[in-house]
Structure 1
Amino acid sequence: MAPKKKLFEHKRKLVTILNPKSPISEQYRTIRTNIQFSSVDKEIRTLTVTSSGPTEGKSTTVANLAVVFAQQGKSVLLIDADLRKPTAHYTFNLTNTFGLTTVLTKQMELKEAAVKTKEKNLYILTSGPIPPNPAELLGSRAMEEFMEVVQEEFDIILFDTPPLLTVTDAQILANRSDGTILVVSSGKTEKDAALKAKEALITVNATILGIVLNNKKVKEGQYYYYYGGK
Structure 2
Amino acid sequence: MVQRILAVGIDPAKRAHHAVAVLYPDRVVLDEAIPNEPSAFSRFDDKVAHLARQYRARIVYGVEDHRRYSQALVEALQARGRTVRVVNPLWTHRQKDFYGQDKDDRVDARAIAAVVLRRGDTLPDATEASRLVTSIRETARMLQDLARQRTRALNRLHRQLSDTYLPAYETFFGKLGRPWALRFFARFPLPQMLRGFTPEALAEVLEELAGGKTGPVRRHRRREQLQQAAKILTATAELQSRPCSTLTP
Normalising to structure 1: TM-score of the pair?
0.29
Report the structure number with the largest CA radius of gyration: 2
Structure whose residues are more often helix by fraction: 2
Normalising to structure 2: TM-score of the pair?
0.27
Structure whose residues are more often strand by fraction: 1
Bigger RCO of structures 1 and 2 (CA < 8 A, at least 6 apart): 1
